[in-house]
Amino acid sequence: MRMKRVAPIENDAEQGEDGPAGHSPLAGLYDIARACDHPGPAMSWRHFSASVRSGSGGERAEAWAACDSRPINGGPINDRSINDGHVDGGEDDGSQVGGDQVVGGYVLHFPQDDNTHLALLRLMTHPGRRREGIGGALLDHAIGRARDEGRRVLIAEAPADGPGTPFAKARGFSPASTETRLVLDLRTTDWSGLELLRARAVRHATDYSLERWAGPTPDDLLGDMARLAEGMNDEPLGDLAMEDQRWTADRVRAREEMLTRAGQRTYTMIARCTANGEPAGFTQLVVDAERPEGWARQGATTVLPPHRGRRLGLVLKLANITWFRACEPSVERVITWNSVANPHMLAINEAMGFEVFDTWHQWQLDI
């Protein structure tokens, strides 16, 4: 088995033109990512290839693939894992590298503006090649790369009921934070009930107005969005060794440019104090503009400390989901992440009708 550095697609025009064709071994790594997908929204090719180029918060990224000539699940070397993790015979394609098969890999994200002691890891092994030491070899390689970059802590996440959890325990990771994924089914949501809930909540927030936009933030609002993004630093992190993130207008724009490369469309709603014009809170929904496959993701929601206690979080989320539904009628479900240490946001989500989908752990390793 050999490790090969995966070259990202640097040309935006090539990002989504032909899909994985012609981008070996990146295509092989994407095949494995799809084969390892947990239930819920799958990452499109365009989104995945963008994540290999940079992280959503401006992190520098690098990816590596593990390659060897042994067949997967006893099939021919050029088998390719495709949708839903099934393995079907196929012709030679991007999952092969010089006659070898991509059997696993990882993506590392290195924060640049803060948290420069961290490396964020996504590690994957083809389901047909697990328990052969590939994951361990990949982790050892990733630790070496993180150390070479001067990083001291590695953070990864895995579903509580997936193979990543026993692997993390066996390799000395500590569980640092637990999050629940919740889903709102827009097809069965009680929309009249949500409208009544919003009307009651608005009575506590009469001193605020709402503004909204789809896509990138208007230039004159970038400063407001940077201030609001820093409100997420109050999010409970458990035992994660993470520092506050520092947001600027340039960083907000860079994140949005990454999302655009990834084919993601955002719907943003902010609350503004009518007395002084100060931004008070925001929420954001994200959908794959090309391949939504019925799913959307609830992004960040926060209210700045001086404006809390007025049900602004609930008002924002209810207003945004109603607007979003009108704009994206093909979306059937919205998924969100909720720290188990954040009962306030959990109560908002439950009031809206979100139901528990599964549980994930974030794992941490001092290296």
Q: What CA–CA distance (Å, rounded) separates 109 from 11?
A: 20
Distance CA 28, CA 32 (A): 6
Distance of CA 310 to the CA centre of its chain: 29
Contact indicator for 244, 237 with CB cutoff of 8 Å: no
25 cis-preceded (ω within 30 degrees of 0): yes
Name the pTM for this structure.
0.90
- The H-assigned helical ranges of the chain are 26-35, 45-53, 134-148, 164-170, 191-202, 222-229, 249-261, 312-327, 343-352
Q: What is the pLDDT along the chain (367 residues), one digit of tens a residue?
A: 899 999 887 766 565 555 666 667 899 999 999 999 889 999 999 999 999 999 988 899 999 999 998 766 644 333 333 222 222 223 333 455 556 899 999 999 999 999 999 999 999 999 999 999 999 999 999 999 999 999 999 999 999 999 999 999 999 999 999 999 999 999 999 999 999 999 999 999 999 999 999 999 999 999 999 999 999 999 999 999 999 999 999 999 999 999 999 999 999 999 999 999 999 999 999 999 988 899 999 999 999 999 999 999 999 999 999 999 999 999 999 999 999 999 999 999 999 999 999 999 999 999 9
Q: How far apart are CA 103 and CA 361, in angstroms?
A: 25
Beta carbons within 8 Å of 314's beta carbon, 6+ residues apart: 197, 198, 201, 348, 351, 352
Question: Are the beta carbons of 335 and 297 closer than 8 angstroms?
Answer: yes
CA distances from 39 to 34, 50, 208, 268, 294 (A): 11, 22, 38, 26, 13
Cα–Cα dist 167/165, whole Å: 5
List of domains in the chain: 2-151 (3.40.630), 181-359 (3.40.630.30)
